[in-house]
Amino acid sequence: MPEFAHRTAAGAEGGEANRFAELEVLVLVAERGSLSAAARHLGVSPSAVSKTMSRLEARLGVQLLQRSTRRMQLTPEGLQLCERGKRVLADLDELEASVAVRSAPRGLVRISTSSSTGKALLAPLVPKLLAAHPGLSLEISLSDQIVDLVEAGIDIAIRWGQLPSSDMVARRLGCTRQLILASPDYLRRMGRPRHPDELDRHVRLGWSYHRAIPHWPFLVGGQRVAVDIGEVVRVNDGDVMRELALHGAGLARLSLYHTWEDVQAGRLLPVLEDFDTGDLEPIHAVYLGKPERLPPRTRAVLDFLQAHVDLRHAERLPLAVPRS
């Protein structure tokens, strides 16, 4: 039978009617065969169990137990209530297990992230995540726009860069370098910039989304300087920015985790590395609510991401890629 011992014992001790506890006591009496055996199982007195049964009979207006000095048995009404009660209590067991922190993660998890992060970090992990938690289903929303988690019904958002103050809770997944990159074709046509002062004659691909930093930072002579992004081309999608750079449209400042294979293969070349600030941009999984009250489904995805997202390679250039 379902063993909600604390609730059942409280019901057996009396007080305000607890219908589930009364059902549990009835089922236990039927299974154990006597009031005293049920009382021993619950750790209460036989009189407490007897009072619970009397209270249930009084409330329903029917006799549920036939009592004698030698035996106890259910009346037809008691038998009917006991059998139906077992099903009700089993349903309650299943319901509580489906939402309890200790239960296996099950249900839909909605994740919001940028297109580049979804492609580079999240998509490769989805098969392994679903294999580890077959009760989960995922809805992945890709946008470089910052969404309101409550309004959009999002459980987890994966966000790049420093986080503003908010009610969100963040789990750090790792860090990435930012590089100024260009295709070999662009550098053949326009020349390689050797100093940030030379960027005025280059096409600088910029971002158009809200919260985008409107400049590129450099370290010149030990001082931080900022070069404004250009006005020629601005986009709000990381994959489009990467494609523009690959096709020689201009210089782009992109995350190394997003362009690692391009840099390693020489499809994109880093420039102005001698003036790099050395800053590492964090990537977080963020959510709303208290950590200890997260649904099992959300906690499972967060734990999985924190354990399996590996960004250590994105903190430094691939080997054999020259600094310039």
Would you give the distance in Å from CA 142 to the centre of its chain?
Answer: 15
Same domain, 218 and 86: no
| 317 in any annotated domain | no
Contact in structure between 157 and 149 (CB atoms under 8 Å): yes
Amino acid 89: pLDDT = 85
| 22 in any annotated domain | yes
Same domain, 112 and 56: no
With a cut of 80, say whether residue 210 has pLDDT above it. Answer: no
| 323 in any annotated domain | no
Amino acid 149: pLDDT = 83
User: How many other C-beta atoms lie within 10 A of the C-beta of residue 214?
Assistant: 10
Mean pLDDT within 279-302: 88
With a cut of 70, say whether residue 203 has pLDDT above it. Answer: yes
Amino acid 296: pLDDT = 87
The CATH number of the domain where 219 resides is what?
Answer: 3.40.190.10
Same domain, 68 and 23: yes
| 23 in any annotated domain | yes
Same domain, 167 and 188: no
With a cut of 80, say whether residue 96 has pLDDT above it. Answer: no
Amino acid 218: pLDDT = 94
**77-to-44, 46, 63, 213 alpha-carbon distances in Å:** 26, 22, 7, 74
What range does the domain containing 259 cover?
176-279
Least confident range of 113-127, 167-181, 202-216: 202-216
With a cut of 80, say whether residue 174 has pLDDT above it. Answer: yes
Same domain, 252 and 291: no
Same domain, 197 and 149: no
| 43 in any annotated domain | yes
Same domain, 256 and 181: yes
Q: Say how many domains are in the chain.
A: 3
With a cut of 50, say whether residue 6 has pLDDT above it. Answer: no
pLDDT band at 161 (very low <50, low <70, confident <90, very high): confident
Amino acid 37: pLDDT = 80
Residue that is last in its domain, among 50, 79, 99? 99
Whether the CA torsion 87, 91, 94, 96 is positive or negative: it is negative
The CATH number of the domain where 85 resides is what?
Answer: 1.10.10.10
| 250 in any annotated domain | yes
Same domain, 263 and 189: yes
Same domain, 197 and 226: yes
Residue that is last in its domain, among 70, 99, 128? 99
Same domain, 195 and 181: yes
Write out pLDDT tens, residues 7-38: 454 445 444 458 888 888 998 888 888 888 88
Share of the chain above pLDDT 90, in %: 46
* Mean per-residue pLDDT of the chain: 85
With a cut of 60, say whether residue 290 has pLDDT above it. Answer: yes
Write out pLDDT tens, residues 225-278: 999 887 788 888 889 999 999 999 999 999 999 999 999 999 999 999 999 998
pLDDT band at 324 (very low <50, low <70, confident <90, very high): low
Mean pLDDT within 155-182: 86
| 296 in any annotated domain | yes
Half-sphere exposure of 297 (CA within 13 A, CB side): 19
Amino acid 237: pLDDT = 86
Those residues whose C-beta lies under 8 Å from the C-beta of residue 2, and which sit 6 or more positions away, are 24, 89, 90, 92, 93
Mean pLDDT within 175-203: 94
CA–CA dist 222, 131 (Å, integer): 50
Same domain, 285 and 275: no
Contact in structure between 255 and 268 (CB atoms under 8 Å): no
Same domain, 297 and 163: yes
